[in-house]
Structure 1
Amino acid sequence: MKIIYDPVADAAYIYLQSDPNQYSHMVALDPQAAGGMINFDYDTEGLLLGIEVLGAKRLLHPDLLSEGLESGAAVVE
């Protein structure tokens, strides 16, 4: 698992597969139920590739966001 975090956009992406198959589709979680925007990305075989979290500061633990910054992810400023 790998996480990247962009503090300017306050968006995080959690990669669940290191060698994902081809992207197929996205399913959005109900923003009211989740308290923010969370999108699930699936591959062509129906396996979960990753999770996009918008408004990440509200929804993810600060340690996880720090890990996303330290992972060498491209941070847009």
Structure 2
Amino acid sequence: MSDTFDAYDDDGNRYAVPVRRSYINTSDLSGPGRIEGLPSFHLSGGGAVNRIDDQTFEIVATGKRLTVRA
């Protein structure tokens, strides 16, 4: 499953940030199961993005900060 949001740098440039969600298999002898794992963030071009807080992200390769606008 994947969602995407827009974030902006201090110069007003827009970046599309896809959110990748993974699931952890919790199946056991009583049956199948799964839980959602931690999301990961990347630029649409593939570069990694770290989450600072709910509204702030940082591009790993450049250290550039991005902000989600309400």
- What is the TM-score normalised by the length of structure 2? 0.30
Larger radius of gyration: 2
Q: Which has the higher strand share?
A: 2
- What is the TM-score normalised by the length of structure 1? 0.28
